[in-house]
Amino acid sequence: MSVLIFVENWDGKFKKLSFELVSYGAKLAEMLKTEIVVLSVGKVENTELEKLGKYGAVRIISAVNDKINVFDGQAYSAIIAGFAALEDAKIVLLSNNTTGKAIAPRLSVKLKAGLGSGVSKLPLSTSPFTVFKKVYSGNAFSNLIIKSDVKILTLAQNSSEVIETENKGVVTTVPIEWNPETVKTRVNEVQKQTGKILLTDAEIVVSGGRGMKSADNWGPMVELAELLGAATACSRPVSDEGWRPHEEHTGQTGKIIAPNLYIAIGISGATQHLAGVSSSKYIVAINTDKDAPIFAAAQYGIIGDASKVLPKLVEAVKDIKGK
C-alpha cells in the first residue's frame, strides 16, 4: 500500500508546487499510516530529484526514456497507472494544474478510482474517505466522499504548505517504454514567453479592472508589480478591450489563481471575477466606490481613485524596500 505522487518537471526542474505536492503527500501518508512513492517522468538530474527528499519523499522513481518529447495525456496516464498498480497505490496524487487536469480524469477511469479534484486541505476523514473541495466556483464547498478502493486527488495550487524535513530521498531510475508511433499528439510549434512570472505560480498578483480607464494607465501598476515581485492580471472586460493580454484575464472564464496576496485595482468584484480569485489568502481592493462588492471579499481596502492612489503606493513600496 502506498500514496503515489506524480511530480511534473519543467525542462528538468521542479517548482514550489512540486514541493507543496510532496509535503501534502507526506502528511496524507502519515494520516493513512502508509508511505509515499514519488514518480517523475522524463529526464531530470539526480541532484534535482533528490531535492524532493527534503519534503518527505522516501522513494523517488525516475521513469525515463530518451524518446519522450511531447506531453500526451493518454500516454502519461498509462505510465502512471502502470506504476500505481506496481506500487499498490491506494491514492494517486497530482497537482490540479493543467497537466494534472489532463491526466487525473483518464487515470480515474483506468484505475476505476474516484477523483477528488482541486482539494485544498487534508481529507476530513479517512473512513469514509472524505475530501473538502470548492464547488459553485467558490460560492460553496463540498464534503465529497470517495467510495472506491483506489482514489485520485489533485491538489489546488498554493493551498498547502511546503514543509522541510530531515529526510533524504533515494532515487531509482526505471527505463520505461515510449513508442513515438503510438503517441497521438504531435507538436508542430511552441510559442513561449520567457522571463515573466507565471500568473498561476505567483505569490503576489496585482490586477486591474475597468476602473483603470484605459490601456495607457498601466505604467504604475506594472511598476508596483515589479517592485513586489508580483505577476500582473486583469478582469475580463480589460482583456476583451485589449488593454491587457488575454493571458492575464482572471476569473471563472479565465485563470483561476490562489496567490498569497491579490491586489484588485478598479475591479468591482463581480461573482464571475471572484470565482477566479476567492482562494487568495489576502485580497486588497482599491476602488472609488465604497459599496463595490470587492470590499466584501477584501481584508484591506482603500476607497480612492486608482490614478491618484497607485503612484503613492509605488512610492511607499520604494521607500520601504529601500530601507
Partner 1 sequence: MSNVPDTTTKVKFIDDFTKLDTAGIQWVINPWDELSLTRALELKDDPSSGIQTVTVAHVGLISAEPTIRKALAIGADDAIRINAEPADAYFVAAQLANVLKSEPYDLILCGIESSDFNGSTVGGMLAEFLEYPSVSSVSSVKIENGQIIITREIDGGKEIVTVPTPVVAIVQKGIAKEPRIAAMRGIMMARTKPLKVVEPVAVEPLTEVQRYEMPKPRAVCKFVDPENPKQLIELLQNEAKII
- Contact region with partner 1 (CB under 8 A), list: 21-29, 84-92, 172-180, 301-309: 301-309
**Which of 56, 301 has the CB closer to ligand FAD?**
301
Site of interaction with ligand FAD (CB under 6 A): 209-211, 235-238, 251-254, 266-268, 270, 272-273, 276, 286-289, 292, 305-307
253 binds partner 1 per the rule CB under 8 A: yes
46 binds partner 1 per the rule CB under 8 A: no
Strand duo 2-7 + 35-41: pairing: parallel
188 binds partner 1 per the rule CB under 8 A: yes
**Which of 25, 118 has the CB closer to partner 1?**
118
Kindly state the smallest distance separating residue 240's Cβ from ligand FAD, in Å.
Answer: 9
Please tell me the distance from the alpha carbon of residue 95 to that of residue 115, in angstroms, as a whole number.
12
* Cell numbers standing for residue 12: 528538468
Q: Which residue has the cell 514567453?
A: 193
* Cell numbers standing for residue 291: 459599496
- Contact region with partner 1 (CB under 8 A), list: 25-33, 55-63, 110-118, 172-180: 110-118
135 binds, among ligand FAD, partner 1, none (CB under 5 to 8 A by kind): partner 1
Instruction: Classify residue 113 by its DSSP letter.
Output: -
Residue at shortest CB range from ligand FAD: 251
Q: Output the CA angle 4-5-8, nearest 5 degrees.
A: 145
Please tell me the distance from the alpha carbon of residue 300 to that of residue 294, in angstroms, as a whole number.
10
271 binds partner 1 per the rule CB under 8 A: yes
Kindly state the smallest distance separating residue 142's Cβ from partner 1, in Å.
Answer: 5
185 binds partner 1 per the rule CB under 8 A: yes
Among 37, 228, 265, 277, binds partner 1 (CB under 8 A): 228
| DSSP assignment of 50-74 | HHGGGGT-SEEEEEE-TT--S--HH
Q: Is 170 helix (H, G, I), strand (E, B) or coil?
A: strand
162 binds partner 1 per the rule CB under 8 A: no
Q: Is 73 helix (H, G, I), strand (E, B) or coil?
A: helix
292 binds partner 1 per the rule CB under 8 A: no
| DSSP assignment of 17-47 | HHHHHHHHHHHHHHHHT-EEEEEEES---HH
187 binds, among ligand FAD, partner 1, none (CB under 5 to 8 A by kind): partner 1
**Number of residues engaging partner 1 in binding (CB under 8 A):** 100
Please tell me the distance from the alpha carbon of residue 57 to that of residue 37, in angstroms, as a whole number.
7
116 binds partner 1 per the rule CB under 8 A: yes
186 binds partner 1 per the rule CB under 8 A: yes
Considering only CA atoms, which of 183, 229, 230 is closest in space to residue 207?
230
